[in-house]
Amino acid sequence: MCGICCILGPKEKIEQHDKNLVLESHISHRGPDASNWTSFSVSEEISATLYGFVLHLRGQLTMQPLTDQNGNILLWNGEIFDGLPELQEDDNDTEALLTALSHCHTDEEILSVLSHLQGPWAFIYWQVERKQLWFGRDVLGRRSLLWHLPESLEDFFILSSIKAGSHKYTEIPAVGIFRMKFENLNLKTLPYQLILHPWKEAVWPMTGENLDDVLQSNPNIISGLHPEILEISSPTTNTFLPSICKDMPSSNYEHPPTDKLDVSYLDFLLKSDLGLQTEAEKLIDFLGQSVNTRILNQIPNSLLSSKNLSFNTLSKYNISYKTCSSGDVMEPFSNLHCGTDSVSQLHSIEESNPDHLVVSEESLPLQENNSCDSEHISSETKVIDLHKPTIYLGDANVAILFSGGLDAAVIAALADRYVDPEKSIDLLNVAFASPGSEQQQQQKKKKKDKRNNGLGDDHTTSADKNPFLVPDRLTGYTALEELNPRRKWNFIEINVTKDELQEIRQKRVSHLLYPLCSVLDDSIGCAIWFASRGLGILGNGPNKGKLFYSRAKVILCGMGADELFAGYSRHRSSFSKDGWQGLIQELQTEVNRISARNLGRDDRVISDHGREARFPYLDEKFINFVAEIPAYKKVDLTLLRGIGEKLLLRLCSFKLGFTKTAVQPKRAIQFGSRIAKLENSKEKASDVCTRLKPSS
C-alpha cells in the first residue's frame, strides 16, 4: 500500500507550487516507511511533480517515485499476486513492474503487461521515450485514485490517492487504462489529450451497461470530459470480469423446505446432495488459496525495525516512547474493563500528562489460553514512564475486520490454516455507544438502586453495565468461540463514543471519504476507520481488559461476498419478481459494477493507519471460479433468511466448524456496530450527510 500523487501544470505555476498541498492532505499516512518526490519537464510549457509514500510489505524497501536508468518513472500503489512472470517470491513488485514496463516500446506492449496483472492496484507511469503519462486502477477498483481535471489553462491536472488541497476531485472510473499525450496536438483549449484504452468487453460500472453503448448515448459521462479531450482507443487484450453461469435448474430440482433456522439443515443438505458437498469443498480450496496469497505476501513484523511499526502510528496521537528493560512495565489499567471506551481514556491520559503512558511490545508464543501473559513479554520493551499503565502491542502480522458475521468468520477460519501456528491473529470488532446511553445508564442505575435497596450494580445486567454490547460485539464473541481454540486470537474491542466519533470525523474521516458524501458512506467509512485503527480493549484471555494495539499491516476484509453469493435483499426481490433468470441477471450486474461499490473509499479509510486492505473474496481466480458455479448451487432464495442467501458459503462455514455463525442472517456493519442513526434517526442512507463538511 502506498500514497501516490502527480501534479501537472504550467511550469511557472508548478515551480511556485507549495508542496504542503500534498503533505497537508495526510497522504503520508498511507506510506509511513519511506517517501520521496521528483519533478521533470513534460513539454516546453508543462512540468510535473510526482510524490510517493511507501508502506513496505514485500521485497527490499524501495523508494517511490522509482526511476530506471532511462528516465522512466513509476508510482505504484498495489500488490501483484499473479500475471507478471518476471516477479519472483522475494522481489519488490514495484521494481519488477518498472522493469517490465521499461522493456515496452509500444502502447500495445504496455497494455498487455498491465491488463494481465492480478491483484489490487492503482498506478502512474511516465514513459520518457514517448513522453506519455499512463495511469489507472484495476478492473475491480480495489485501490483509490482520484483526479482533478483543470478548469482553465492556468489550473493543475492532479492524480492522487486521496484529496490534496482544496481542488474538486472525482474517482477515476475503473473502466480501463488512461494515457495522456502532449505532442502533435491540434487542441486549442488544453496542452494535452487523454486517451482511454477500455478493458476488453468493458462496462460502465455505475449501471453495468456496455461502455460503448453508454458513451454513444452520453459522450461526456466520464467526469464530463468532452470527446475532443478524451479519445476512446483500442481496448486492452484481457479482462478479469467474468460472465455469470446461466445454467438453470431442472424442473424437479429443489431443496426440501424448512421452517427452522437450524444448522442441522445444512448438515442434511451436505449429506443428501453430493454435488453440493463437492462444490463446498472446491470453494473452500479456492478461497483458502486466496487467503493464503494475501497472508504470505508481506514481511513479518519481526524483520522490520521498530520505527516502522506501531510507534509510527502511535506518534500520530502525540505518544512518544523510549527503550528500557521490561521489569516494571506490566502495570494494568485499574479503571479499564471489557466495554470501556479505551480511546477516550487514552486521550484523557495524553491531555493530562502525555508522558505517562506505558507501551509494552509483545513477543508472545502460542498459548493454549489464547491470551497474553507477562512472563512472555520481550526483554526489550518500548515504554513511557515505568509507573503508569500499559498498552500491549500485538505481534500479529494479520488482522481481520471481524463482526462475527459469516463472511469474516470464514476468512478467519481459513487464515488459521495458513498463518504460522506460533503467531497470533488480531480480530478487530467495533462498537458505538447507543444514543444517550450514558444518561440512560445513570437513570437505570438509580431506578435499580431503589428497587434493590441500594444494591445497585450487583443486580444490573451486563448490557446495563456495558453500552457497547451491540449486535456485532455479541456475534463476534459467538464466532470467536467457534474458532480454533489452539490459536492465539486477539479479540480487540474497539469502543467509540459519540463525542469521539464527531471529533475524528471532522479531523480525519471526512477528508478520506471525499468525494463521497452520503449518510451510508459516513456510517460505513467511520466504522471501518475506527475498526482498522486497531486500538481498543483486549476482550479475551487473562489480560482481558488491557489496552491493546494491533501492529498488523495487513487487514483481511470480507467485502465482495454478498455480491458473489446473493447476500443482499435486492437479490431476493429479483428472484421473487423474475425467478432464476432475474437473479442471474442481478448477479451479473453485481460483478459488472463491483468497481463502483466503494472499494476505493474503504482503501482510503483503512490506509490512513498505514495498513493495507486485502479482499480474499475479490481475488481474480476466485471470482471466476464462483462465476462458473450455477446460481442454483450457490443460493436458494425459497429458503429462510439465514440459510437461503449465500447458501454455498454457509455450507462451507459448517464444514469449517461453525454452527451458530453458519446460520447467522446478514447484518450490515452500520447496523451491527450501532453507528447508523446514532446522530440522526430520521435520515436515509442515500441522503447527503450534512456532517461531512468539505475539507480544505
Residue 258: count other Cβ atoms within 10 Å of its Cβ. 16
Answer whether residue 486 shows pLDDT above 50: yes
CATH class of 263-300+396-435+466-692: alpha beta
Q: Are 490 and 424 in contact (CB under 8 A)?
A: yes
Residues 585-607 have pLDDT tens digits of 999 999 998 988 889 999 999 99
Lowest mean pLDDT among 123-132, 225-234, 392-401: 225-234
**C-alpha cell recorded at residue 335:** 479503571
Average pLDDT, the chain: 82
Is 2 a known active-site residue? yes
CATH architecture, domain defined by 3-232 = 4-Layer Sandwich (3.60)
Pairing of strands 157-160, 2-10: antiparallel
Among 2, 526, 652, 689, the active-site one is: 2
Residues 655-683 have pLDDT tens digits of 999 999 999 999 988 888 889 878 877 88
> Residue 359 has what pLDDT?
47
Quote the distance between the C-alpha of residue 551 and its chain's center.
16
Which residues are bridge partners to 429 per DSSP? 493
Q: Mean pLDDT throughout 140-156?
A: 90
| Structure-model confidence comparison of residues 331 and 501, the more confident one | 501
Of 430, 342, 454, residue with least CA distance to 391? 342
Answer whether residue 639 shows pLDDT above 90: yes
Residues of the chain by 3-state class (helix, strand, coil), percent to 5:
35, 20, 45
- Integer Cα distance of 368 and 124 in angstroms: 48
> Residue 474 has what pLDDT?
95
Binding residues: 93
Cα-Cα-Cα-Cα dihedral of 394, 395, 399, 403, to 10°?
A: -40
Instruction: Domain ranges for the chain, please list them.
Output: 3-232, 263-300+396-435+466-692
Query: How distant, in Å, are the alpha carbons of 68, 184, 189, 294, 427 from that of 488?
Result: 44, 62, 62, 20, 11
Q: CA-based angle 506:510:515, to the nearest 5?
A: 155
H/E element holding 583? helix 569-592
Name 152's Cβ contacts closer than 8 Å, sequence gap at least 6.
none
Binding residues for L-glutamine: 93
Residues 343-389 have pLDDT tens digits of 444 433 333 333 334 444 443 322 333 333 333 323 332 333 334 55
Answer whether residue 336 shows pLDDT above 50: no
Q: Are 135 and 145 in contact (CB under 8 A)?
A: yes
Which residues are bridge partners to 194 per DSSP? 180, 230
Q: Are 276 and 270 in contact (CB under 8 A)?
A: yes
> Residue 680 has what pLDDT?
76
Residues 429-480 have pLDDT tens digits of 999 987 655 445 555 555 555 554 444 444 334 555 788 999 999 999 999 9
- In terms of average pLDDT, the best of 81-90, 248-257, 561-570 is 561-570
Q: Are 152 and 129 in contact (CB under 8 A)?
A: no
